[in-house]
Every structure is written in structure tokens, then in C-alpha cells.
Amino acid sequence: RPVADLAGRHVVISAGGTREPLDPVRFLGNRSSGKQGYALARTAVARGARVTLVAANSELADPAGADVVRVGTAVQLREAVLKAAADADAVVMAAAVADFRPAHYATGKIKKRDGQEPDPIALVRNPDILAELSADRPHPGQIVVGFAAETDDVLANGRAKLARKGCDLLVVNEVGERKTFGSEENEAVILATDGAETIIPHGPKEDLADTVWDLVATRLA
């Protein structure tokens, strides 16, 4: 795509999935591969943007031309995204952020004890980075985009989540039968605060990424 419609723009993308440690060797995590976020980074570079990719535990190679910041936990991802977002024109939260983290971190490996049941794992809430970014924008023209995976009532749940998070665009995936995590392909509907719905048929994650940037570029213009 030769159109440099994001030239002169700084965009921040989060990708991958956070890992919340229990002890030095164990964590609570998720199956996000980072592929959709990396596709967003590649396509934004191709369209002329300066790109900061905040990557949580992805095994993918750094996309050429992007500044990559590697993080592990949701708290680290929040720090990195908020710092990069200060001068960003758009922020896209494609990362799967853990809603909860263990309340306690054991500095030594947790051991099983003979004849004793395991202790329950107490959890505390992680910050909602997307909601925070949307509420406290460093400048009013900044565009904030979220992702949501829904299993049922995709449009109604998506609309409610768009309003709750306060972002400008929400990319809603239907998950379930045909898996999205780890796949090369995706299908989605992008909901906008003005009521618009953009349907993205099943296809490469690059196509979805380019449609996100089309909508972002229109709103920045």
C-alpha cells in the first residue's frame, strides 16, 4: 500500500499477552500470539507512521522500522504505553491484558507440602489501561482504539463495551468455534462512537489492520 496517509504521525500499539507472576517460575497468562498487533505495526510503518510497539511476551520478530518496547506484566505494559502515548496521535490496544494478577508474589518457588492441600491463589484487579487512556488523553485529538473478544451477542456487548471503555473505535472479534488466537486470519466488526459499523470479512490480519488505519486516518484528518 503506497499511500503514506500516516506520515508525520506517531502511533502506539500494544500486542501480545501479559504474564502475571506467582513465583520465579510460574505465571498466569493467556494464549495471545501478538500477530494482530504486529500486523498493525507493519501496516502502520508501511503507511508512513512512526510506530512504537509495546510487545508483551510475543515470540514474533521485531517488525522492521518500529520501535519495540518489551514488557511482561500488565503494570509494565501500562507504564510503557502511557509513556509512549504522551505524544501519540493514536493508540491501539491490541494486547490481551490480564484482568487480574496474583495478590502475592513468592520470591522462592512455591512448594507442595506432603499431606496438605494447596493454598488458594488470591487475585487483585489490574488497572484497565484502555479505559484510563481514553479518559485521560494528553491532547483532545488523540484517537484511542480497543479490541474485544466476545462469544455471544457480539454487537450488543461490543456497543456496551465501547461506551464503558470510552474509546473511539472498538474492534470486536467473535471467538469460539473458529479460533482467533494464534491464527493468521481474523474477522471482526469495528464499532465507532458515531454509530458506524465496519464489517471486516474473514481474511488476513493485515486486512483488518489496514481497515483500522483507514478509520484512524479519517478521524485524524
Q: Which residues are catalytic?
A: 30
| Among candidate residues 25, 24, 88, 20, the one with its CA nearest the CA of residue 53 | 88
CB of 100 to ligand C5P, least distance (A): 9
| Among candidate residues 73, 13, 17, 9, the one with its CA nearest the CA of residue 39 | 13
- The answer on whether 130 is annotated among ligand-binding residues is yes
Among 40, 130, 144, 200, binds ligand C5P (CB under 6 A): 130
CB 35 within 8 Å of CB 184: yes
The Cα diameter of the chain in Å comes to 66
CB of 113 to ligand C5P, least distance (A): 33
Among 85, 93, 162, 172, binds ligand C5P (CB under 6 A): 93
- The answer on whether 194 is annotated among ligand-binding residues is no
Size of the site for ligand C5P (CB under 6 A): 12
In whole angstroms, how large is the CA radius of gyration of the chain? Answer: 18
Q: Does 97 bind ligand C5P (CB under 6 A)?
A: yes
CB of 187 to ligand C5P, least distance (A): 17
Cβ contacts of 83 within 8 Å, gap of 6 or more: none
H-assigned helices in the chain: 35-46, 74-85, 129-135, 154-165, 205-220
By C-beta, is 113 or 179 nearer to ligand C5P?
Answer: 179
H-assigned helices in 70-194: 74-85, 129-135, 154-165
Binding mask 29-68 for ligand C5P (x = CB under 6 A): ----------------------------------------
Interface residues with ligand C5P (CB under 6 A) are 74, 93, 95, 97, 99, 126, 128-130, 146-148
Output the known binding site for CTP: 99, 109, 127-130, 147, 161, 165
